[in-house]
Structure 1
Amino acid sequence: MPVLTARTTALIVLLLAAMLLGLAPILVRLSDTGPAAAGFWRFAFALPLLLVLSQRPGGEGIGLPGKWMALAALFFVLDLSFWHYGIVMTSVANATVLCNLTPVVVTLFAWVVLRERPQRLFLAALGLAMIGALAMAIGARTGQGSSPLMGDLFSLSVAVWYAGYFLAVKAARRSAGPIRILLWSTGLGLPALLLLALVLGESILPASPAGWAACAGLGVLHVVGQGGVAWALGRLPAAITAVTILIQPLVATLLGWLIFTETMTPVQMLGGAGILAAVLLAQWSARTTGPGRGPMKTGAVPEDPAPV
């Protein structure tokens, strides 16, 4: 039986994490509490699990937060706040697809700031992914959500916050493992989300056992899903990772169709097929650049020696 390479293993972990994170918007809808409050409970339920994982044999321990972890926490709070409001204002498909336009921001940042010019094949994959994502959003039927236009705008802004989170975690992974990064980004973001929920006058406590179960589920998904993404970011280029997690809106759209009867149109189905093709093309572009190089022409991403 062939042994999986480090890149292949990281890709498999990333795909599984992205599929799990596709459950998050469904649980937010079912949380029976305010949008920012749902983010607070997501962090509150995740924090004890992260503390336990940080103390496991061979683990890093709690340590102290670095500047990149604090920045990741800030971007994550902005990410969840705008996204959770987007989820209740527009369709699950639109909210999840629009917020996952992150690859555009990540690639532009690497190109303009880091002077890492993308390979043509990767740009083709990125373009195909964006066309697919826009098709899924535009193709959604109207009348889904309390304020579709505002929800779409909120969700679109999340692409910037999520990109900032990606890049901050990528920088933090050079000196820390994923559990410590996720622990501190969660711990630092917890009081900020609670304060935001209180200022906005949200209902803090879930009103039903099902709501509590959904909040607990968000906490588990946070640890497993975001933990998997943080782990993969230490082994894959950020741009490749950002394109690959576009699997997440596909899962969310399918679940929105099954649970909330948010009908999938033929245009959305074609968009989903385009995203899947783009993910494969992006991975192929990474393979064609040679060993140890990502989808950029300069500045190869080194293998991260940080412990898992």
Structure 2
Amino acid sequence: MSSENSPVRSAILTYTGLVLTPLFWAGNAVVARGTVDSIPPLSMAFWRWMIALAILLPFALPGIWRHRAVIRQHLGSMLVLAALSVGAFNSLLYLAAVTTTATNIALINATIPIFVSLLAWMLLGDRTRPVQVLGIGMAIFGILAVVARGDLSVLTSLEAQPGDLIMVAAVLSWGLFSVLLRRQAVPLPGFTFLSTQILLGTLVILPFYLGDLLFFSGGFEVTRGTALPIAFFAIFPGILAYGFWNYAVHRIGPSRAAIFIYLTPVFASVLAGIFLEESLGLFHMVGGAFILAGLLLATRAGRQAT
């Protein structure tokens, strides 16, 4: 009986995890936006990964030690990958939250597959079909609509919110990480690779965090109101989202799993409306529609080409 139910349980876990993952990613943007006045962005990034590392390391150390020769051999590549993903992506996302909305963060974040396709074409020479080019163009138009907030003069006068531009840099960082990950594949088990990346990425953030602590922000006071968000960042969009995502990709493949990324701005807009009283503007809906249509065109064409 249990053997018959195991595929069903596996499917339930897979698709439940794929719904929870964008919910946690949306929560990451909303909680960051809501607490950025009390927790400096670099403190958010450093302590998020420090706590995640403290939870994972006791389980990861045997694998890290067992594969130490591989890690040593690929240390340079892994350091670059860790700097782009663990180091830069969330640090930039939290910096973006200072001057833009959680909804904008989530909408721009949803374009990661577009930037991966664009950078793969530019850096790896991946074949790009005309439909994919159209999809990429539509998604970029959607980003510009969100960044401009529906006012073309914002773009022509370079008056866009700094947070929107920082979030574009964050997405570019993750796209570059994804492309380099393909080109510089490291032969490590998934859990060992993830744990090593978090370890290296935390070390990358450390000097920036210390500089910010000493010369700029001065850190933050540890209270219930600051400790709970940090714990949330570490456990939910950190450990659980990565775990659910990796499990789902293993079970159903990256193309089918990637469709669920499109739920992130939907969840973010609802959560931001409830907890931050952010309202949706016409530019959000127009930009979001172009982003979604572009993503569907580009990723569907990419799957048909492979």
User: Would you call these one fold, judging by a TM-score over 0.5?
Assistant: yes
Distance 2:133 2:59 in 1: 38
* Residue 51 (structure 2) pairs with residue 41 (structure 1): no
SS at match of 1:22: helix
Which structure 1 segments of 5+ residues have no match? 142-146, 294-308
Q: Give the TM-score, by structure 1 length.
A: 0.73
User: Residue 33 of structure 2 corresponds to which residue in structure 1?
Assistant: 29
Shift in alpha-carbon separation, 1:287–1:117, aligned structure 2, 3 A: closer
What do residues 3-47 of structure 1 show as CA deviations (whole Å, max 9, x unaligned)? 79x9xx989855642332111122223443110000011101211
Could you tell me how far 1:185 is from its partner in structure 2?
A: 1.5
Could you tell me how far 1:118 is from its partner in structure 2?
A: 1.8
Q: Percent identity?
A: 21
Distance 1:224 1:159 in 2: 21
What do residues 252-288 of structure 1 show as CA deviations (whole Å, max 9, x unaligned)? 2332222111110133124334444444445543553
CA contact (8 A) 2:33 2:98 kept: yes
* Residue 231 (structure 2) pairs with residue 216 (structure 1): yes
Shift in alpha-carbon separation, 1:43–1:206, aligned structure 2, 3 A: farther
User: Residue 166 of structure 2 corresponds to which residue in structure 1?
Assistant: 154
Equivalence map 1:265-280=2 (5 Å) = 265-280=281-296
Distance 2:171 2:31 in 1: 20
What is the identity, as a one-letter code, of the residue corresponding to 1:262?
E
Which structure 2 segments of 5+ residues have no match? 152-158
Distance 1:162 1:216 in 2: 23
Q: Which moved more, 1:222-231 or 1:76-85?
A: 222-231
* Residue 245 (structure 2) pairs with residue 236 (structure 1): no
Higher percent of residues as helix: 2
Q: 1:245 aligns with which of 245, 250, 261?
A: 261
The higher radius of gyration belongs to 2
Distance 1:174 1:231 in 2: 19
Distance 2:79 2:15 in 1: 26
How many residues get paired?
279
User: Residue 300 of structure 1 corresponds to which residue in structure 2?
Assistant: none
Distance 1:15 1:172 in 2: 30
CA contact (8 A) 1:14 1:232 kept: yes
Could you tell me how far 1:250 is from its partner in structure 2?
A: 3.4
What do residues 121-159 of structure 1 show as CA deviations (whole Å, max 9, x unaligned)? 333433343334443443479xxxxx9622222222212
Q: Which moved more, 1:75-84 or 1:164-173?
A: 164-173
Could you tell me how far 1:50 is from its partner in structure 2?
A: 2.3
* Residue 244 (structure 2) pairs with residue 261 (structure 1): no
Could you tell me how far 1:170 is from its partner in structure 2?
A: 4.2
* Residue 81 (structure 2) pairs with residue 72 (structure 1): yes
CA contact (8 A) 1:256 1:262 kept: yes
- CA RMSD of superposed structures (Å): 3.8
SS at match of 1:89: coil
Q: Which moved more, 1:127-136 or 1:11-20?
A: 11-20
